[in-house]
Every structure is written in structure tokens, then in C-alpha cells.
Structure 1
Amino acid sequence: MEAQRLSDAAQRTLSAWHQLIQRGSMEGLEPLLAENVVFRSPVAHTPYAGKAALKLILSTVNTVFGNFRYHREFVDTDGRSVVLEFSAEVDGKSLKGIDMLRFDEHGAIEEFEVMVRPMSGLQALGGQMGARLASAQAVLTGKPDPA
């Protein structure tokens, strides 16, 4: 079986993504995202849609994860999808996970899905994210607060 590689446009975006992670900042994330980007969380049933929600989620998780590190990447045969294996710590709990990214024809991220294990790490992540994002439901759902 022949090793696959990402399209040039997707590879540019992935390289920029790795630079953001290396800097520990999501500043510069927006140009990497498709207008109708969708995020699927490991702790929420309903996907989050739009750049504002994804920027908020990724900026927040960037402050929750400790010792975050990517280990391996796997490219799909379509040249537009990649799986990135990572490890991190949350509240003293070690976790492993994957980021599954799908790029559009221009190389922008159109889908971002995360899976995490074990349950203890997932629960720690969910607790921290829930606490930090509790007041941001309007951004996450794209609906104004009913205040």
C-alpha cells in the first residue's frame, strides 16, 4: 500500500495549525477555517457550527490541556483528511486522543472532530471545558442569550 499525502492546500493549512500549537496560541486560527466549519466534541452530542464557536473552543482547550503533544498523523486516501494522535494532561489525568480534520478544496478546515480516552481523562476535560464555557452558550450555539 502506498503512503498517502495531503493536497498541497491542506498541507499548508496543517503546517500553519502545527505552528499555532507550537506557539501555544490560537491567534491566526480564523484564516485556516472554512466559513461553515463544524466541530464535533468528545463530550457533546450536538456539533458546533461556525468559526466563532470553533475559535472559542480551541482557544479554551488550549488553556485546559497541559503537556499537549502530537505523536503521529495518518492521511486518508482522499488527500483531504488527516488524523492527528495526541496526548495531554487535564487536572492530573493523562489522556490520549485524536483530532480528525477534513479540509475543503481550498485547504480550509471544514470539519474538526476530537475523540479522547480514557474516561477519567475525558471527564476531567469535560468538567474543565464546561466550567470555562458555561457563560458562552450564545457563541457556541450561534443563538443570542435569552436574557
Structure 2
Amino acid sequence: MTQPHSKTELNGLSPVCKNAFARWHEMAASRDLSKVGEIARDDVAFRSPVAHTPYIGREALTLVLSTVIGVFEDFTYHRQFASDDGMSVALEFSAHVGGKELKGADFIRFDEDGLIAEFEVMIRPASGLMALGQAMGAALDGKLDAFKGKQS
């Protein structure tokens, strides 16, 4: 995996993915993820750190990410890496939720058209993950149930 020169550029990222990657960073920086579906496939899979099965679809991805950006305090990306094939990225971040500090990683896989095909999040430590799960559960209150996909 390669490291970037800037937050919106990433050495080794496939040219087909660069537009979506730059737009992702613009949305994250503005804390407005309401249009994330525009850079994702219709059947994008979102894998949550607190759910066993993925949530499927642009609407689910938009709902989760728009909600979490409001739950996170002091959200910051630190490092980012591209896969050897240039079709996936890993983005390390930190944030606070409910007074708990957390570190995490976003794993984004793009398809051949440069759209997000899969978005997976991992969080540590357990205290930060639990605080995030509680805050997201309260904010979403069952709104994601209709988007649960098949286990893969």
C-alpha cells in the first residue's frame, strides 16, 4: 500500500477512482455526506463495526454516514493507503463520541466505474465502539432495519 501526498490525492490510486475519492474528502471535510450516494453503486454494501450483516444500497450508506458525521466530535483523517491494484483505500481516522476517544479505519472498495462498491468501518477501543453504537442506535432508532443484506 502507498501513502499519499495530500488528503485528496493518493499515490497508487487508479485514475478511475480519483474523482470519487476527491469528492469523498470534500464531503467529509464539509461534514455534509448527504450526496455520498452520487459516488456509490446502487447496491453498495456498508459494513458497520456494530452489525453482523451489511446494509445494502445508496440510501443506507447515505443514512449511516450522514448520521455518524453528526455523532462524531473532532473527526480527523490521519493516514490513507491505496491497495496494490489501486481500487481500494484504507483511511485511518480518530474522533470522540460521548466523551470516549476512538480510532478507526474506513476501507473503501471501488468498482471498475470508480463508484464505491463496499464501505467497511472498523473501530477501537471497545469503549469507543460501544459509545458509537449507543449514539448511532439512538440517532437511527431502527431506520436501518430495512437495509440489512444477506451475510457474505
TM surpasses 0.5: yes
Aligned residue for 1:108?
A: 115
Task: Tell whether the 8 Å contact from 1:52 to 1:139 is kept in structure 2 after alignment.
Answer: no
Aligned residue for 1:18?
A: 25
Q: Which structure has the bigger radius of gyration?
A: 1
Counterpart check, 1:98 vs 2:105: yes
Gap regions ≥5 residues in structure 1: 143-147
Tell me the percent identity.
50
Give 1:2 shift.
7.6
Q: Hey, what's the Cα distance between the residues in 2 that align with 1:12 and 1:72?
A: 19
Task: Tell whether the 8 Å contact from 2:72 to 2:95 is kept in structure 1 after alignment.
Answer: yes
Task: Tell whether the 8 Å contact from 2:2 to 2:81 is kept in structure 1 after alignment.
Answer: no
Give 1:27 shift.
2.9
Specify the SS of the correspondent of 1:136: coil
Aligned residue for 1:49?
A: 56
Specify the SS of the correspondent of 2:22: helix
Partner residue of 2:141 out of 129, 134, 146: 134
Task: Tell whether the 8 Å contact from 1:65 to 1:90 is kept in structure 2 after alignment.
Answer: yes
Give 1:86 shift.
0.2
Q: Hey, what's the Cα distance between the residues in 1 that align with 2:145 and 2:124?
A: 28
Give 1:8 shift.
1.1
What whole-Å deviation, never above 9, does each CA across 1:79-119 have from its counterpart, x for those lacking one? 10000000000001010000000000011000000000000
Provide TM-score, normalisation by structure 2: 0.88
Query: What is the identity, as a one-letter code, of the residue corresponding to 1:140?
Result: F
Counterpart check, 1:8 vs 2:39: no
Query: What is the identity, as a one-letter code, of the residue corresponding to 1:96?
Result: K
Query: What is the identity, as a one-letter code, of the residue corresponding to 1:44?
Result: A
- What is the CA RMSD across the aligned residues, in angstroms? 1.7
Specify the SS of the correspondent of 2:143: helix
- The number of residue pairs the alignment matches comes to 142
Structure 1's 2 and 118: CA in aligned 2 closer, same or farther, altered over 3 A? closer
Q: Hey, what's the Cα distance between the residues in 2 that align with 1:70 and 1:39?
A: 19
Stretches of 4+ aligned residues off by more than 2 angstroms = 1-4, 137-142
Gap regions ≥5 residues in structure 2: 4-10
Aligned residue for 1:62?
A: 69
